């Protein structure tokens, strides 16, 4: 992503989202799991959020309403409200234009619909209605006279296959915005998402440069021209994509999160497998020793090359008969060197290989980490953290930059945080029996260079893929 765009992002105070096929897949209702995180992260940074859509506020599905956006620029900007329902901008279609539109629709023989502030209705139900608006609004009332006695902000065409309705000269104050093959939004020429958002921005005392927008369709074009930063979804109309400052991934590929994370506007989502080992994805290794078994969940997502090395060596029998050559109680147990000296061992890559540091795994008590002789010197040697005597509080670790959940686990169970980002963590003990074996091994009597007086031997390592 362009550095200049990241700089411009520092001025953003309001993020506006289209709904259909931007926040939510229109045809399936799918909403990425990252979307709540996006809204919460923006809120924490003091950045306000809004929805700008051809939908009405009553057409916002519960899952999106639960995100608690601050503002709603609905019906293509014809009605703008805050989250408490206070109206910021109100631009209904004059009654005579509504009646003229109805007469035109009846003359050319198409179904039509209306959108009021509180509800919507259709003139009839047919194939075009079922293929378009029924997906957005479930079971709308059939009422050709719905407009009587209420403000109408937007109308619809519902057209036969292969037919595109062109507004007559008598309807010159209206415009047609295509949103489906068989349907268009009909609204005042002065109405647009851009107009509604501009009224909101003026109300907030902001400037266009303070606004970032996400969209995917033709009814977002004017908004893209207006906003300081415009981001098109991965599958957007080509005309809109041509106007975007950035084209992100598809909606289903967490496109909104991807763009905002790259701009530094939302917190990076972290997966901490050590907090939920039972559900963490990865192979299970069982290190069989003459003191019992150590059952370990491996972390290929965080340390793919290291896990591949350990798994391959284990399956080849490389560790069979190898001792834990260095044991320090209240610290760790170290093994994996066929020479038993702490000076040997080789990786499957032939030479030393690089560290794989991650801010998702840590040297907590029970962590499986790579031993090394400095940066990027990994071979075959590993250690398991045993320390229980922890001198820091969770708050101290948080102030040092550790995630709150990890800091709490360190304070509760122990570990060696000073080794984080110095040794690759690639697995963790899975059960109480394994911790009992770890503590038993750590308690053996040792001599010079912390080598056990009686060998602690790896009998073999099995891998469950």
Residues marked active site are found at 18
d(C-alpha 294, C-alpha 64), whole Å: 46
Helices H / strands E in the chain, number of each: 14, 22
Establish how many alpha carbons lie within 13 A of residue 71's alpha carbon, considering only the half-sphere containing its beta carbon.
27
CA-based angle 201:137:234, to the nearest 5? Answer: 60
Write the DSSP symbol of residue 318.
Answer: T
Distance of alpha carbon 28 from alpha carbon 140, whole angstroms: 19
Q: State how beta strands 326-328 and 292-298 pair.
A: unpaired
**3-state SS, one letter per residue, for 183-240:** EEEEEECCCCHHHHHHHHHHHHCCCHHHEEEEECCHHHHHHHHHCCEEEECCCCCHHH
- Dist CA 78 CA 261 (whole Å): 31
261, 1 Cβ separation under 8 angstroms: no
C-alpha span between 193 and 78 (Å, rounded): 8
């Amino acid at each position: 992503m362009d550095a200049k765009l990241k700089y411009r992002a520092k001025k953003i105070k309001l993020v506006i989202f289209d709904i259909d096929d931007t926040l939510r897949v229109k045809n399936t209702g799918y909403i990425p799991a990252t979307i709540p995180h996006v809204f919460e992260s923006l809120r924490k940074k003091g950045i306000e959020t809004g929805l700008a859509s051809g939908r009405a506020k009553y057409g916002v599905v519960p899952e999106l309403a639960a995100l608690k956006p601050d503002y709603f620029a609905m019906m293509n900007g014809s009605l703008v409200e805050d989250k408490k329902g206070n109206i910021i901008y109100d631009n209904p279609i004059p009654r005579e234009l509504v009646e003229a539109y109805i007469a035109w629709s009846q003359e050319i023989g198409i179904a039509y619909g209306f959108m009021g502030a509180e509800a919507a209705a259709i003139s009839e139900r047919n194939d075009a209605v079922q293929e378009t608006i029924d997906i957005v609004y479930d079971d709308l009332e059939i009422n050709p006279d719905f407009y009587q006695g209420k403000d109408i902000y937007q109308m619809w065409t519902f057209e036969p296959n292969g037919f595109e309705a062109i507004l007559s000269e008598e309807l010159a104050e209206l415009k047609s915005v295509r949103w489906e093959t068989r349907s268009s939004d009909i609204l005042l020429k002065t109405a647009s998402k851009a107009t509604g958002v501009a009224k909101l921005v003026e109300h907030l005392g902001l400037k266009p440069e303070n606004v970032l927008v996400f969209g995917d369709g033709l009814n977002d074009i004017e908004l893209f021209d207006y906003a300081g930063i415009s981001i098109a979804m991965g599958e957007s109309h080509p005309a809109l994509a041509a106007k975007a400052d950035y084209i992100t991934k598809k909606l289903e590929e967490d496109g909104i999160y991807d763009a905002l994370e790259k701009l530094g506007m939302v917190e990076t989502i972290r997966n901490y497998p050590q907090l939920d080992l039972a559900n963490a994805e990865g192979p299970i290794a069982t290190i069989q020793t003459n003191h019992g078994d150590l059952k370990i969940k491996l972390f290929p997502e965080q340390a793919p090359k290291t896990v591949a090395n350990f798994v391959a060596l284990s399956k080849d029998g490389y560790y069979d008969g190898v001792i834990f050559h260095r044991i320090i109680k209240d610290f760790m147990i170290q093994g994996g060197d066929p020479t038993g000296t702490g000076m040997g061992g080789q990786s499957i890559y032939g030479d030393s290989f690089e560290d794989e540091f991650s801010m998702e795994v840590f040297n907590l008590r029970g962590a499986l980490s790579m031993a090394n002789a400095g940066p990027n010197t990994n071979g075959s040697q590993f250690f398991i953290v045993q320390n229980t005597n922890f001198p820091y509080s969770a708050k101290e670790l948080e102030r040092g930059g550790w995630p709150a959940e990890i800091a709490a686990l360190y304070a509760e169970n122990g570990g060696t945080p000073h080794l984080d980002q110095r040794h690759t963590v690639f697995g963790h003990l899975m059960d109480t029996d394994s911790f009992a074996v770890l503590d038993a091994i750590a308690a053996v009597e040792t001599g010079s260079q912390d080598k056990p007086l009686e060998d602690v031997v790896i009998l073999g390592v099995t891998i469950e893929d």
